[in-house]
Amino acid sequence: MPTFEVATPQRTYQAVVERGLVSRAASYLPEKARRLFVVTTEDVWKLHGQTLERGLAGRSFSVVFFRGGEGRKRLGEVERMAEEMVSLGADRSSLLLAFGGGVATDVGGFLAAVFMRGIPVIQIPTTLLAQVDAGVGGKTGVNLVAGKNLVGAFHQPLAALIDPEVLSTLPEREYRAGLYEVIKCGVIRSPELFRLMSEQVDAVLGHAPDAVDRMIAESVRIKAEVVSADEREGDLRRILNFGHTYGHALEAETGYARFLHGEAVAFGMRAATHLALLTGLLEAEDARRIIDTVDRYGPIPTLEGVSAEAIVNRLASDKKTLQGKVHFVLPERIGQVRIVSGVDQSAVVEAARATLG
């Protein structure tokens, strides 16, 4: 069973990747009797609630429902759920289980971070994106009208329980969106994972357990390693943003409505790859392999009506902009990236234009 240690100043914990893990969740609960609160969405509970219930092995728990959706990732929802927890008898010694996609794990994690100044949380992510990204690393938060994830906290879980089996019910489009984050992990740090994603497309798209489990485990290993070296987004953690600079700009430009996050990252990886090629950082053969592999998992929704200028104008207002400078994570070769700032503006526009086609 692949288990990866996440060592942060806040806490050291295990991220476990194993089929059927949800039905064995009890073995990861602390011995001490604590009241358990499962924060989840109705769809996930309907599909997998019975399995988790079995996994809790007779421990009593309460379910706090969250209606889900990026638009509900708001402070108001956190307040409502906190009130509900109090009315259900939650106190400082309670334990929260965040069970769902990245929206639920971000909101549930944040609720745990602030409820009575912080109670422990176990993350049980149920989308591919949440399994390889949101559920590991301790970033939690909610959106403001002004932007995504602008209020939040670092709150590391007691454990991250990643069960690839729950992905069998995931809508195809959500699954493919998560696959782009897996490709990202390969490009930034693992030629082996990249090879799996480029050579076993049919197995991956067909949910072949061996390929799926390997790609998730390798992605979680990378996330655990990066977060352990750098919990709070210094240079190393920023490599996880490969494809996200242009990607966030595309999401914002299309009002967060046309593209799923992972699909925007697919666009962003292609644009960053073009940029790396234009700036002479990356060889043409590697650029071709990255772009081909991203395309094999497509298509993403149409880019019609989006202009290169509009994308580039959005870049400057990205949250990850540091002191007014746009930083790009650019591949040098497959498995290695570099953080680059001060890139020539005309190349930035040209890369966007080439990607928009």
Residues 9-48 that bind ligand NAD (CB under 6 A): 41, 43-44, 47
Residue closest to 271 by CA, chosen among 299, 240, 245, 295: 245
Can residue 127 be called a binding residue for ligand NAD (CB under 6 A)? yes
- Interaction between residue 264 and ligand NAD (CB under 6 A): no
Whether 327 sits among the annotated catalytic residues: the reply is no
318 binds ligand NAD (CB under 6 A): no
Among 101, 108, 164, 331, binds ligand NAD (CB under 6 A): 101
Q: Are 85 and 130 spatial neighbours (Cβ–Cβ below 8 Å)?
A: no
Binding window for ligand NAD (CB under 6 A); candidates: 131-139, 264-272, 301-309, 323-331: 131-139
Of the pair 177, 197, the CB lying nearest ligand NAD is at 177
Q: Binding to ligand NAD by residue 73, rule CB under 6 A?
A: yes
Q: Does residue 121 touch ligand NAD according to CB under 6 A?
A: no
Torsion of CA 112, 118, 121, 127, to 10 degrees: 40
Q: What is the greatest pairwise CA distance in the chain?
A: 62
The runs of H, that is alpha helices, within 190-241 are 191-199, 201-205, 209-229
Which of 238, 261 has the CB closer to ligand NAD? 261
106 binds ligand NAD, rule: CB under 6 A:
yes
Question: Is 108 one of the binding residues for ligand NAD (CB under 6 A)?
Answer: no
* In contact, 121 and 108? CB cutoff 8 Å: yes
Nearer to ligand NAD, 108 or 331 (CB): 108
Residue 55 near ligand NAD by CB under 6 A: no
Distances (CA, A) of 90 to 65, 110, 112, 115, 267: 15, 16, 11, 9, 43
Strands (E), 120-198: 121-125, 139-144, 147-154, 159-162
Contact (Cβ atoms closer than 8 angstroms) between residue 48 and residue 127: no
CB 14 within 8 A of CB 5: yes
Q: What is the rounded CA–CA span in Å between residue 26 and residue 102? A: 22
Catalytic residue among 54, 72, 148, 237: 237
| Active-site option among 53, 143, 165, 241 | 241
For residues 296 and 305, give the distance between their C-alpha atoms in angstroms, rounded to a whole number: 23
Binding status of residue 139 toward ligand NAD by CB under 6 A: yes
130 forms part of the interface with ligand NAD (CB under 6 A): yes
Range in contact with ligand NAD (rule: CB under 6 A) among 25-33, 76-84, 124-132, 157-165: 124-132
Name the DSSP class of 297. Answer: T
**Residues acting as catalytic residues:** 117, 139, 181, 223, 233, 237, 241, 244, 248, 261
Return residues touching ligand NAD (CB under 6 A): 41, 43-44, 47, 68, 70, 73, 100-104, 106, 126-127, 129-130, 133-134, 137, 139, 148-149, 166-167, 169-170, 174, 261
